[in-house]
């Protein structure tokens, strides 16, 4: 048992932190948000740092790193509330492509790693909420045997900027049947239309409609749901780590504010009501950090244990994010509810992360459904 | 990063598990698993069994006859004991006073007092709190006045847990009223059989005489029973409190009691009620998160690479969870937690239970656990400490 980082992981963290601190400050971020929530230049810088190929196998031009490295990077990007869809591309879509036997996947992996292409998982549907087995988008074969995908996917991260999508589509069964789900790679082109929009936290997303769009099968029915579920699991670990970084920075800003802001002639950090609230905030932050580690370190477990662990983690993260976010805004007073102040943007990001990969209520239901007689870190 | 214990640690765990299974008396673990009343004999029997193995002072270094385990091994030992249904080791001797005697006592004091603690034969009590000194411990008023080669002690200690069984008591006493309150305190070991010592049990809200008032009326204490230097007792008291960093979270016991919550909820037919079940699920997440936090502290101690300043959070969270599981058990029993049948807390009671035997102790446990957020530095005091370390002032 060991929760230390290796020297290489520390170096990776330092490199990302340097880029965030110097290259992605609040003013630059504000500009990116105003121009639509995605910057090609920033994306290229992430590629130059090698980060886009973090989970891409070395044979495909990546670094072939593991879950702990992904966690380290996400914590640091969280500290800067980076809006570019790093996790969606590098930590969710790339491993899906890497795990596929389809030859086309390799070519896209190379392009992901060098930053020339964006590929994202487009799985959300209007009626699905957080049930990943609910897929109404369909895939059929034409007379030549070519797969064609039809349906609409919602809130696809940077959907306007993507060159291709990983799309769960139904080849058989009813709308909630996991066995009938296959995963396809669909290039943006004929039969694909997008409608982009900004998101609440300054990033961008799109509604993506597929109308008999040509598709390559990445995972056939029978394997698609398991691959999708594993990808969402990596997403949970990624956003959990991101949330820890977001909270770290927000709590630090709050502590600084409590020591400088004066009311009634003294620093507000002298008031016991606020001091105790701060202790509660720290508690939630450390519980969240503990469960972020837990999520990352459980990614390699068999599916049943992994799913239970990830849901447990997301419940803790959800509770922590809401408490830390709300209370840090509260302790700032009026300045906390302005757009001008950076803290409000951290709060908005925390709020949106809860709605990503399943909210607290959803995962509490999952934990509840998966409870065993014994529980614990090693259960 | 690696979540798993090493092969050596797992082998160690297996060894402890096998030993506890072979040596923990079934009648005692039955009481623990069912929250029945433990007697002095139960507690001391287990202490002596551990003592014979050299594990009563499970956190002791080899130099003083302990096993010399590291923090991870200590955690695994405590976990195996808790899951097997062993009573908690009464901490006042082996966990609290012994480390102070080891660090600050004379060789004579070490030879005189440590063997009886190690073997589990001598029952120690804690003389810290007073009627006027609870969270504000530094305001203790019990006086010890030096007269030749002895101290004359007058005053009163409060909340002395299981003090009715105590043979010795370690006390914070005031030896000076000059300077800050912290500077005039001394650490004194007092034989409870001394003339002038009176112990009066205090019944708690669950009806059990768990704590006591201890009165000192011109009690003569040999000066050789002073630990360390006069007026330096506050330093030793803080050392004592800092000594056990993760044990106070008691996460292992919470894991065991979470299992009991589920057993009782199933028996009472509420485990499939989604409203109740989600509360259990919440508690399960809380327990896992606390365990992860404990493991982080243990791992940081072991590696020494980066300091981890979160041990103060463990007491707060651990105590909240202890309260919560007793609350859920109470709610699971519902109306059948209402009857108060004092004898039903005895193992082997042959009378008629109302509802089921498992319902009898639930309200009492819930009542009793209100203490956890109050003792050992109330959770409000703990929050103050956490905030101070964050804000720097």
A226-369: which CATH number, 3.40.50.300, 3.90.550.10, 1.20.140.10, 1.10.3720.10? 1.20.140.10
* Partner A contacted by B226 (CB < 8 A): no
Domain ranges of chain B: 7-91, 124-230, 244-391
Best B262, B387, B389, B392 member to test A by mutation, with max A CBs in 10 Å, is: B387
**Where are the domains positioned within chain A?**
7-113, 119-222, 226-369
Give the residue from B278, B285, B381 with the most A CB atoms within 10 Å of its CB, the best one to mutate: B285
What is the domain class of A119-222 according to CATH?
mainly beta
CB-nearest to A68 from B1, B299, B302 is B1
User: Would you call A375 and B287 a contact, using CB atoms and an 8 Å cutoff?
Assistant: yes
Give me the CATH code for the A7-113 domain, please. Answer: 1.10.540.10
Query: Is CATH 3.40.190.80 the classification given to domain B244-391?
Result: no
The distance of A53 to chain B (nearest Cα, Å) reads 21
Contact B391 A258 (CB under 8 A): yes
Which residues 15-44 on chain B approach chain A with CB closer than 8 angstroms? Answer: none
* pLDDT by position in tens, chain B (length 393): 999 999 999 999 999 999 999 999 999 999 999 999 999 999 999 999 999 999 999 999 999 999 999 989 999 999 999 999 999 999 999 999 999 999 999 999 999 999 999 999 999 999 999 999 988 899 999 999 999 999 999 999 999 999 999 999 999 999 999 999 999 999 999 999 999 999 999 999 999 999 999 999 999 999 999 999 999 999 998 887 766 667 788 999 999 999 999 999 999 999 999 999 999 999 999 999 999 999 999 999 888 887 777 878 999 999 999 999 999 999 999 999 999 999 999 999 999 999 999 999 999 999 999 999 999 889 999 999 999 999 999
Task: Please give, one letter per residue, the 3-state secondary structure of chain A.
Answer: CECCCCHHHHHHHHHHHHHHHHHCCHHHHHHHHHCCCCCHHHHHHHHHCCHHHCCCCHHHCCCCCCHHHHHHHHHHHHHCCCCCCHHHHHHHHHHHHHHCCCHHHHHHHHHHHCCCCCEEECCCCCCCCCCCCCCCCEEEECCCCCEEEEEEEEEEECCCCCCEEEEEEECCCCCCCHHHEEEEEEECCCCEEEEEEECCCCCEEEEEEEEEEEEEEEECCCCHHHHHHHHHHHHHHHHHHHHHHHHHHHHHHHHHHHHHCEECCEEHHHCHHHHHHHHHHHHHHHHHHHHHHHHHHCCCCCHHHHHHHHHHHHHHHHHHHHHHHHHHHHHHHHHHHCCCCHHHHHHHHHHHHHCCCCCHHHHHHHHHHCCCCCCCCCC
- Choose the catalytic residue: B244, B284, B301, B346: B244
> What residues of chain A lie within 8 A of the CB of B380, using their CB?
276
- Tell me, yes or no, if B284 comes closer than 8 A to chain A by beta carbon: yes
How high is the ipTM of this complex? Answer: 0.96
At the fourth CATH level, which superfamily is domain B124-230? Butyryl-CoA Dehydrogenase, subunit A, domain 2 (2.40.110.10)
Residues of B in contact with A299 (CB under 8 A): none
The answer to whether the CB atoms of A1 and B392 lie below 8 A apart is no
User: B295 and A3: CB-CB below 8 Å?
Assistant: yes
Nearest-by-CA chain B residue for A299:
B3
Residue A286 and residue B262: Cβ atoms within 8 Å?
Answer: no
Whether residues A298 and B3 touch (CB distance < 8 A) is answered with yes
Q: Known catalytic residue: B108?
A: no
pTM attached to this predicted model: 0.96
């Amino acid at each position: 048992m060991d929760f230390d980082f290796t020297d290489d992981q520390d170096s990776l963290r330092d490199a990302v932190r340097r880029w965030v601190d110097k290259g992605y400050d609040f003013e630059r971020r504000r500009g990116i948000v105003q121009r639509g929530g995605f910057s090609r230049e920033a994306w290229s810088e992430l590629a130059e740092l090698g980060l886009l190929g973090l989970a891409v196998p070395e044979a495909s031009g990546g670094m072939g790193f593991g879950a702990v490295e992904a966690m380290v990077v996400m914590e640091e990007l969280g500290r800067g509330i980076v809006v570019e869809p790093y996790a969606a591309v590098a930590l969710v879509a790339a491993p899906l492509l890497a795990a596929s036997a389809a030859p086309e996947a390799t070519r896209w992996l190379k392009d992901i790693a060098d930053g020339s292409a964006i590929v994202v998982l487009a799985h959300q549907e209007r009626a699905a909420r957080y049930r990943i087995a609910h897929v109404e988008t369909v895939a059929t074969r034409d007379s030549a045997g070519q797969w064609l995908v039809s349906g609409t996917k919602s809130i696809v991260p940077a959907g306007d900027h993507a060159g291709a999508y990983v799309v769960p589509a139904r080849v058989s069964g009813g709308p909630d049947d996991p066995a009938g789900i296959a995963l396809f790679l669909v290039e943006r082109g004929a039969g694909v239309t997008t409608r982009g929009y900004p998101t609440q936290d300054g990033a961008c997303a799109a509604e993506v409609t597929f109308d008999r769009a040509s598709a390559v099968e990445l995972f056939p029915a029978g394997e698609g749901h398991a691959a999708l579920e594993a990808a969402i699991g990596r997403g949970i670990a990624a956003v959990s780590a991101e949330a820890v970084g977001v909270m770290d920075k927000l709590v630090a800003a709050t502590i600084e504010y409590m020591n400088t802001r004066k009311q009634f002639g003294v620093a507000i950090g002298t008031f016991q009501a606020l001091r105790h609230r701060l202790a509660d905030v720290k508690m939630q932050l450390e519980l969240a950090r503990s469960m972020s580690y837990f999520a990352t370190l459980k990614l390699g477990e068999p599916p049943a244990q992994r799913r239970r662990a990830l849901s447990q983690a997301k419940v803790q993260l959800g509770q922590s994010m809401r408490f830390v976010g709300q209370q840090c805004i509260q302790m700032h007073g009026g300045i906390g509810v302005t757009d001008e102040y950076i803290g409000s943007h951290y709060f908005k990001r925390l709020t949106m992360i809860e709605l990503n990969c399943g909210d607290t209520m959803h995962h509490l239901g999952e934990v509840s459904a998966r409870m065993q007689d014994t529980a614990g870190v090693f259960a | 990063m690696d979540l798993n214990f090493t092969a050596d640690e797992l082998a160690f765990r297996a060894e402890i598990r096998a030993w506890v299974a072979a040596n923990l008396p079934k009648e005692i673990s039955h009481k623990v698993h069912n929250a029945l009343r433990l007697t002095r004999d139960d507690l001391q029997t287990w202490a002596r069994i551990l003592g014979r193995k050299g594990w009563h002072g499970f956190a002791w270094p080899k130099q003083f006859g302990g096993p010399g385990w590291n923090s991870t091994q200590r955690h695994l030992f405590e976990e195996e004991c808790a899951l097997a249904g062993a009573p908690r080791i009464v901490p006042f001797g082996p966990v609290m006073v012994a480390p102070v005697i080891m660090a600050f006592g004379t060789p004579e004091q070490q030879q005189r007092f440590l063997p009886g603690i190690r073997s589990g034969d001598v029952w120690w009590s804690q003389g810290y709190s007073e009627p006027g000194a609870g969270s504000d411990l530094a305001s203790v008023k019990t006086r010890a006045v030096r007269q030749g080669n002895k101290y004359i002690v007058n005053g009163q200690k409060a909340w002395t847990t299981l003090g009715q069984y105590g043979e010795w008591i370690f006390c914070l006493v005031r030896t000076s009223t000059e300077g800050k309150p912290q500077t005039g305190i001394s650490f004194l070991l007092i034989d409870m059989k001394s003339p002038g010592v009176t112990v009066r049990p205090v019944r708690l809200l669950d009806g059990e005489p768990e704590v006591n008032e201890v009165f000192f009326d011109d009690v003569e204490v040999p000066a050789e029973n002073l630990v360390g230097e006069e007026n330096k007792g506050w330093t030793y008291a803080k050392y004592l409190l800092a000594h056990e960093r993760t044990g106070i979270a008691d996460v292992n016991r919470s894991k065991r009691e979470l299992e009991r919550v589920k057993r009782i909820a199933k028996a009472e037919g509420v485990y499939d009620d989604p409203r109740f079940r989600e509360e259990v699920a919440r508690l399960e997440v809380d327990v896992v998160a606390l365990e992860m936090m404990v493991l982080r502290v243990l791992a940081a101690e072991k590696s020494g690479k980066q300091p981890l300043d979160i041990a103060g959070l463990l007491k707060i969270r651990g105590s909240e969870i202890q309260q919560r599981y007793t609350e859920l058990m109470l709610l699971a029993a519902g109306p059948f937690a209402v009857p108060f049948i004092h004898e039903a807390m005895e193992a082997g009671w042959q009378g008629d239970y109302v509802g089921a035997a498992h319902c009898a102790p639930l309200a009492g446990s819930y009542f009793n656990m209100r203490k956890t957020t109050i003792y050992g530095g109330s959770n409000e005091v703990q929050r103050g400490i956490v905030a101070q370390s964050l804000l720097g002032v």
